[in-house]
Structure 1
Amino acid sequence: MSNMTSLNAPKLMKVENYLTWKDSFKSFIKSQDARMWICIEDGYIAATRRVDGRVKVISYEMMDESEKLMINAEKKALARIKMSLPEGIKHTIKHCGTSYELWEALEKRYQNSSRQSVGGRAIDEKANAVKEECSNECSVHLEDNKDATQAFMAEVVPVDEAETTNAEEKVDAEVEKQSEAEKVDAEVQKESEAEKVVADETTEVHEKEVQSNSVCLRCRELQGEVDRLSAQNQSLVSEMSSIKESIFFFC
């Protein structure tokens, strides 16, 4: 009966007890076959041979005795882990094909969720102790700050309400004065801009007048030239008429 009990691996009843189960299962596997734990912890390495210049995984029949012991240990380790898990989580590890992969999956999934181990309890106790110490220390600091605040308030000289009102009126007057100055600056700026616009328009009109006078002067010069040529033409016509009459008289 004792031999049958020794062959049964510890079962993980609840995931909250994972860390406790992990330690028990590890001890059990090592007591059964150290090669099983090597496969779980480091991973099983398949036996290979060089065939036709290429490295290939060999069949069970081609393995030597030590290689057969290792692959048998891997199969047993994988079966032991699966048999130790509750039915509710077996469907989540179907993709794991080796004992190493299955063990790593359990570690990632349940290592941090378990708080039942001795280490976990120690951490919780330490956290509670630190929390309590911090709470006590904060209470002391609060009392000290309260006393210091009361002492400071006792030394504060009350402020005269009239002085406060005068100070506020001075501030309001300064603000109003500043606003008036800003308004004056704005008006001056507007006047300067208006004067600039008038000056620009005056300059433009003057330039147009100068251009117009220049054009008129040229027109007068041309008109004078036309009049001179017209008078010259009339003189030539008169002279030609005289010559024509003389020729007619002699004939």
Structure 2
Amino acid sequence: MAQSIDKPPFFDGTHYAHWKTKMKFFIKSRDYKLWDIVEDGPFVPQRSKAEWSADDRKKMELNCKALHILFCAFGPSIYEKMSSCESANEVWDKLEVTYEGTDEVKETKIGLLTLEYENFKMDPEENIEKMFDRFSTITNGLKGYGEAIPEEKLV
């Protein structure tokens, strides 16, 4: 089934790493400033709403747009978990902890994937395509955790 370029990728609680990559590019393609809001957190004006400048209002709108994109990607169960968040950054961080785990859990997963990578070899019952799929799953998993294997080591 084809994905519309106007709708954010749907997240149902499965395949988080794939969804995360797709959503990151979707948001960046809308407006790179939106991604800055998601990644770095919202801009919070240091004055009352009545005193906001046009720039303050624009930055607040970016957070609302980013939140809208994220919320439109969720089904009811994920939305319920995230609906109390007030910023796109808070949603993103909560998703990461919920579906990737804490930093300690991530380090453990990186360690396991690294061990799989270092001990990788073709299984006797496996064809080249299955071996390549298994290898890609390992390297893409590492990349998803920010641990990309250098190109010269992939050969």
TM-score normalised over the length of structure 1: 0.39
The structure with more radius of gyration: 1
Cα RMSD (Å): 2.8
1:163-221 superposed Cα distances (whole Å, 9 cap, x missing partner):
xxxxxxxxxxxxxxxxxxxxxxxxxxxxxxxxxxxxxxxxxxxxxxxxxxxxxxxxxxx
Give the corresponding residue for 1:70: 59
Question: Which aligned pairs between 1:47-58 and structure 2 lie closer than 5 A?
Answer: 47-48=45-46, 57-58=47-48
Paired residue for 2:86, among 88, 97, 108? 97
Q: Which has the higher contact order (CA 8 A, sep 6+)?
A: 2
Q: Does 1:106 align with 2:105?
A: no
Write the mapping of 1:32-47 to structure 2, written as runs, cut at 5 A.
Answer: 32-47=30-45
CA distance 1:89–1:64, change in 2 (3 Å): same
Structure 1: how far apart are the matches of 2:27 and 2:121?
42
CA distance in 1, matches of 2:40, 2:93: 11
Return the TM-score normalized by structure 2. 0.60
Report Cα offsets for 1:132-175 as digits up to 9, x if no partner. Answer: 79xxxxxxxxxxxxxxxxxxxxxxxxxxxxxxxxxxxxxxxxxx
Residues 55-204 of structure 1 mapped to structure 2, 5 A cutoff: 57-59=47-49, 61-112=50-101, 123=113, 127=116, 130=119
Q: Percent identity between the aligned chains?
A: 22
* Alignment size in residue pairs: 110
Pick closer, same or farther for the CA change 1:62–1:28 going to 2, 3 Å.
same
Instruction: Provide structure 2 residue ranges, at least 5 long, that are not aligned to the other structure.
Output: 102-109, 123-155
Q: CA deviation at 1:7?
A: 2.7
Match of 1:30 in 2: 28
Unaligned runs of 5+ in 1: 49-56, 113-119, 134-251
CA–CA separation in structure 1 for the residues paired with 2:79 and 2:58: 27
2:27 is aligned with 1:17: no
